[in-house]
Amino acid sequence: MRGDHRPDPDALAAALRVKGRAGLRIFLGAAPGVGKTWEMLSAGRQRAREGADVLIGVVETHGRAETEAQIGDLPILPSRQIPYRGQTLAEFDLDGAIARRPALILIDELAHTNAPGSQHAKRWEDVTALLEAGIPVWATLNVQHLESLNDDVARITGVRVTETLPDQVLELADEIELIDITPTELRKRLTDGKIYRPETARRALDAFFREGNLTALREIALRRVAQHVDADVRLYMQTNAIKGPWPASERILALIGADASAEAVVRRAKQLADALRAPWIALHVERPKDGLSGVLKSQAPKALAARLGAEVETRAGRDIAAIALDVAASRNVTQIVIGSPRPRRFRHIGRRLWARPSLAEQLLRQGNDFNLLVVPSLAERSPRRLWPRLPRTPLPWLAGVSVIALVVGLGELAQPWLNHEALGMVFLAAVMAVAAFYGLAIGLFAAALGFLSWNFFFLPPLYQLTINDPRDIVAVIVFGIVASSTGLLAGRVRAEAVAAQGRIEGLRRIGLFSRRLGEPATEDELMVEIAQQAAALAPEAAVLTDTPAGLTLRALRPENSAPLDESSLAAARWAYARQEEAGAGTATLPSASWRFLPIRTSRGVAGVLGFRPPAAGPLSTPSLQAVLALADQAAVALERVRLAAEAARGEALSETQALRTALLNSLSHDLRTPLTGIRGAAETLRASWERLSEPVRRDLLASIEEDVGRMTRFLANIMDLTRLEGGDIAPRLMAVELAPLFDAVCGRVPGSLHMAVSLPEGLACRADPALLEQALANVLENAVKYSPVGAGIRLQASEDKGRVVITLADEGIGIPPEDLAQVFDSFYRAKHGDRVTPGTGLGLAIARGFVQAMGGTIAALSPRPDLPRDGLPGTVITITLPLAERDRQA
């Protein structure tokens, strides 16, 4: 807990940010019709009577007389008129509101979706712009419009709300006023026709406005307001350095240790949080003496807490009680949940003068403001270790003996110049070095050995473990105390350094895993990469995922590894089904030769990651920790790949459906129209051939010929599109002279006989003559279609930096700026007002495909810069192709 009780810097910064912007007040309701707009207008009128400049930005009365009466004499901002699909929509005028700059503006229906063409897509974005401009806003909102509640509201009411806004908008509010009435009263208002028309009200009573639905929505609204108030209370306490807790609401803190009781603490804290309907925090304190094994043991309970909905926090330090109380005070915690203390030895000693108080005792003494819940653990616990863990290899012991022996040797050589007190300091330095390199146990061993060596070799009488001088007795005692203390402190420093190095190494590995697992684009490639990374930590690794055939091996590294035996497969199935580790080195199926970890995603367990421990023994603690981190990173990467694949499939399906729909529409229109014309003309000729004059018969035959040509061109376009999408276009590139090609194109397209053509003599490009002629014909036909009769069309070509540039400019109706990027897409036809020119939308798409197949580019420009602004805008289509080789050589 902070000793100086200073304000929290982050809280002060947050408070300054709030004070630095205009205020937002939200009138929140649980359902339509509770009176949000009425209450906002009533409060606005009161502010206006107090002299404030209050402006109604937008208000939706829905024809309710009570709401309309509340407007009174408040000024209303004129709405912005936006044309859309043949009608005019009235929307909030953001620019007008900013220019007017009232002291307060009222905005109704915060989640409203603006009409296309508005400055922002959503009304809440307009409100954000108003706040940034320094204009305070009052707004109304129903709780079911919050994005995070969309699925919950749909399950409760059976209605999917389509207009939503991010929850962060609610967090922007300085004040939230809950407009609340009982479900019974709201249903009565609905029956009385005060919300909807009678026929609509009858349907709503049996659907959205059922009493159970309204009660549930009311509870959700109350909780959201309570959460906002709780955040305000905590911010106030932190900015004013008020010592917590304030028992305004319940909040749980669970202390997760590196022992067997951690998961029991997590589960009990979750039960308590559910019973109190309170948020909860899971705190783990990393202590240096726990080392990497403590970090490793805490991973599972922290992951469990995160899955159960806790806010997980990790701190580093020695004093768990002080850190826990500091977090509890700063987060306004009221309940602290811990595991039961470890059993102590020598319990029969009454006062236990030498024993440090347990965590529970420290919290009871120092945390009088908090409720403390101690959870008993059913797991078998080992007593607290009184002595440091001894090394299992002889090397540290030999190193301690060698260092002391070296000091003894150097002391014998330097004895003529150094007295025995100075040699004692050399022994202390040696003890500290040994403890720093090999830990506390070896440090204490070196301290004892150094004490005996100093006494035997350098304190008179020499070579005897006796002391004659009383001053040496004091020196020996001081040496023993200082050597032991130095060894203890040096050992702790080493443990802290090892723990810090382990955390750094863990972060480095996590970064490496994230980078390597982020590269694969397919699930199969990802499986191989996961197994490859795991095989770098263990001799063999495998990845198994769930398929329709069951748990299936997806990757095995090294590739020549023996297949999994039946006991290992049973461990893999257990780990997948129970979402727990299984296999070698665990309590479940330990006889298996492999160990398996579940790969948990937000959608459940996606598979298991397995590794075979080394033959010499279990995997080292750092390596095992790295494998656990790899399993977590693998879950994230696997979910990413699967979501990307689903998105790609959805996009492909959407595009396919759009193309299929467009093709069917084109077939129904562009074939039916000429077929109808052909049929009508043929029936007329058959029935009235003798009575028709020769000019009429020629006109009817010409119309049949024209319609047949139209159908032929349409079917040719469909075939060309199929060839393009199937990759069957193989251009035969050669030198193509443009002059005769332009003549052929002009002869193919009706209405282009009087077109102006301009190109240098002998200019040729490298292209496929058939594809280029078809591409130019499509572009020219498009220009004729969208140009008035008699309008000028200019086709010209020129050479520019080794390329041939062909431009076709018309004086037609042009292309809207928003359509320029899509005008070359299949089945896309630009709109002009509410009219769409008949056609399939394939001509320019095929032209682009042919030009790109020949190594060229095509682009559109509209309006034409050389035309007067008071006329039609016109369009310029530019095709760029490689210059023919013969022209380059010339």
Q: Render pLDDT for 719-760 as a digit per residue (tens, 0 to 9).
A: 666 665 555 567 788 888 888 888 888 877 776 656 788 888
**Paired tokens of 689:** 């051939």
- Dump pLDDT digits (tens) for 284-302: 888 766 655 566 667 778 7
Which stretches of 537-693 are DSSP H helices? 566-578, 621-666, 672-688
| SS3 track for 620-644 | CHHHHHHHHHHHHHHHHHHHHHHHH
Mean pLDDT along residues 350-376 = 71
- Cis omega before residue 563 (within 30°)? no
Confidence of residue 379 (pLDDT cuts 50, 70, 90): very low
**Paired tokens of 764:** 């040729």
Closest CA to 256 of 363, 361, 338: 338
Q: Where in the chain is the domain with CATH 3.30.565.10?
A: 729-889
- Dump pLDDT digits (tens) for 822-846: 777 765 655 544 444 555 556 777 7
| pLDDT on residue 343 | 55
- The more confident residue out of 138 and 626 is 138
| pLDDT on residue 881 | 92
Strands 857-861 and 87-91: unpaired
- Dump pLDDT digits (tens) for 462-480: 777 766 666 666 666 666 6
DSSP letter at 4 equals S
- Dump pLDDT digits (tens) for 322-359: 888 888 877 778 888 988 765 554 444 444 444 567 77
| SS3 track for 442-501 | HHHHHHHHHHHHHHHHHCCCCCCCCCCCHHHHHHHHHHHHHHHHHHHHHHHHHHHHHHHH
Q: Where in the chain is the domain with CATH 3.40.50.300?
A: 9-239
CATH of 729-889, one of 3.30.565.10, 3.40.190.80, 1.10.260.40, 3.40.980.10: 3.30.565.10
User: For residue 692, is pLDDT > 60?
Assistant: yes
The pTM of the full predicted model, rounded to 2 decimals, is 0.41
Q: Is 597 helix (H, G, I), strand (E, B) or coil?
A: strand
**CATH 3.40.50.620 given to domain 252-341+358-375:** yes
| pLDDT on residue 502 | 60
Closest CA to 280 of 252, 308, 314: 252
| pLDDT on residue 382 | 47
Closest CA to 401 of 353, 358, 449: 449
| pLDDT on residue 102 | 92
Q: Where in the chain is the domain with CATH 3.40.50.620?
A: 252-341+358-375
User: For residue 504, is pLDDT > 60?
Assistant: yes
Ramachandran angles phi, psi of 674, nearest 5°: -65, -35
- The more confident residue out of 341 and 594 is 594
Residue type present at position 82: I
Rounded to whole angstroms, how far apart are CA atoms 364 and 325? 11
**Paired tokens of 609:** 């990651």
- Dump pLDDT digits (tens) for 36-54: 888 899 999 999 999 999 9
Overall size of the chain counted in residues: 890
Sign of CA dihedral 488, 489, 493, 494: negative
Mean pLDDT along residues 685-694 = 82
Mean pLDDT for the chain overall: 77
Rounded to whole angstroms, how far apart are CA atoms 625 and 814? 65
| pLDDT on residue 352 | 46
Rounded to whole angstroms, how far apart are CA atoms 840 and 828? 8
Burial of 661 per CB tally in 10 Å (0-12, 13-18, 19+) = exposed
CATH for 9-239 is: 3.40.50.300
- The more confident residue out of 708 and 57 is 57
